[in-house]
Structure 1
Amino acid sequence: MRSVIQYSSTLKIIINLAALCAIILSTGLAISYGSTEIELGTVWEAVFQFDPELSSHQIIQELRLPRALSAALVGAFLAVSGSIMQGMTRNPLASPSIMGVTDGAAFGLMMILAFFPSTSNLGLTLSSFIGAALAVSLIFMIGSSSGNGLTPVKLALAGVAIGTLLRSITSILSLHFQLEKEMGFWLAGGLDKTNWSSVQMLVIFGAIGLLFAFSIAKSMTVLSLGEDVSIGLGLNNAIIKIIGIVAVFMLTGVSVSVAGAIGFVGLIVPHITRFLMGADYRWIIPSSALFGSLLVILSDLVSRMINAPFETPVGAITSLIGVPFFLYLARSKGEKK
């Protein structure tokens, strides 16, 4: 789908600023809404004029603010991961949840919870990285194993196969070690267990992942045009892909360790961003981060409102949006072929 505004930098800036304003507003709404209703004015005071004597300020600072920030960061990281995967593979259906990267991160978590249950939050995050890296490595190895090299179709098939395998092993281990409750949270996806420690880990590891992502933004634009084009222009495809893979498993790994398997964010957002921003990844990556943040913040807000006072998993909300979008993409791309 070709963007109708891809040549207008002014419109791109306006859209990104509008998305940023929407993030700020939705974050305020997410913080104010809950079992105890808090006015937006109180939210402002709790953030900038914190009074530890007020219970409403404590609720905001200790519970709702870290949850909202975690939602924003997780959404940004998953969306950027999806945009990188789609650019590297030239596969419009590529995303961390569909191509097994999220399942790999969940598998890493399951192994740690099963065999080292007293592991710290840092250990859980590192296990997510290892699991996501394992999944990515297996997917690219299997996809590249045949004579004609790595193709978007083979990469998608390898991703689905590896994701299904790792998800099955995760389920078996959770049943054997009676960790159904713990793994239920990770597989459903949610933000109700986030705290300031979660935000800290997201910021530290996510910053490194984003640094890798931004460092290859210009090269990703060329790579997305095809292997032959990028090689002809002197691009080192192997190095770019390695950096992209590291960015993907770092961003996905830390997101899954904090919020579980929130699916389809990395599928939906990059398509919307490319429609609005065009094919330049110097625009796509930061814009994906903004729209991904907005999507997960709003999804988390809806998850608390749809069946109050109980919470619906955030992953269920994003799936309600993502599954029809996935089917639409699969059908439209199939018709073009």
Structure 2
Amino acid sequence: MQSVLRVLWLLIAPAVALAPLPAHAGPRIKDIVDIENVRSNQLVGYGLVVGLAGTGDRMRNTPFTEESMLAMLERMGVSVRGTEMKTQNVAAVSISATMPPFARAGSQIDVQISSLGDASSLQGGTLLVSSLRALDGEIYAVAQGPVALSGFKAQGAGASVTRGVSTSARIAGGAIIEREVNFAFKSASSLKLALKNPDFTTAQRIAAVINQRFPGTAEVLDPATVEIAPRGGFSGSLISLMSDVENLEVNVDQPARIVINEASGTVVMGSDVQISPVAIAQGGLTISVTETPVASQPAPLSGGTTAVLPRTSINVDDGSGKSLALLKDGASLKSLVSGLNTLGVSPRDLITILQAVKSAGALQAEIVVQ
């Protein structure tokens, strides 16, 4: 039996060794486009968080919290008009949520709440039932539930500790959809795919991949839009067409771009960044001044006094040890990074060098400064 297996392996091994490796798959169409008019909707509301352990709004500083409490109590049949309220267990909050496309009545979505007054923490609070509206003024969801914080604040008489933000919280599944946004997807005769990153080449590739699978189905309208419609004898519905189209893979083309965040010193470069012939020298002038004063003692019986004499040491480093790096024509991202690492540059210096190379016209890429 072992001899038979050995013979089979000798026959199969060359075929396995010579089998071509699978080509690198590109992203799916569903990951790089949005469907026109199929989008999420932003909701916003106002409410009260109760049950706070003395960390809520102070009524004298936030009159809108007091008015909201009075209105809520009156709706429940409790009249407290004319009385002075001193509770600090209530906080007025803004409520925001995102309703996904095709959300149906009864489904739940997450909500984010943030303090509007001077509450120091929302820890342990519960949001009372509050309506969420869209820009059209209609109520689309109702939110309620205990809040969950990612931060905390502990304070004593002489010290305090704060981690994260204690005046912002989240309620997972805290809102229930009450009103739907209708979209006649099934009755539509065509759909438009909106590219998340508009590009002529990518749009053309998307249309080519779709037409290869379903001839005559896709047409490029502009760098950001590809229209698809069932043609060429396709017998299924638009929904079945989209389920097949969105899983097709496309090689995405992207412009040469460098993103710089000067605040954090972060530099992100695309693989298509090219460098024209340029020489780079990186060095800096460092001057260090050190003061080491010494005490001067007078001779015995001279009648003099002790004096402090200054002694200054100045050291100058002009970076003369730095070498000049030459990047040849057509240098790629790998060559650029290798050359700059040879110079021993820091991320901060790298930002300055890239901007200088761009000003010299040798950097064939767009620089985006955040």
Answer yes or no: same fold by TM over 0.5.
Answer: no
| Higher strand fraction (1 or 2) | 2
TM-score by length of 2: 0.17
TM-score by length of 1: 0.18
| Higher helix fraction (1 or 2) | 1
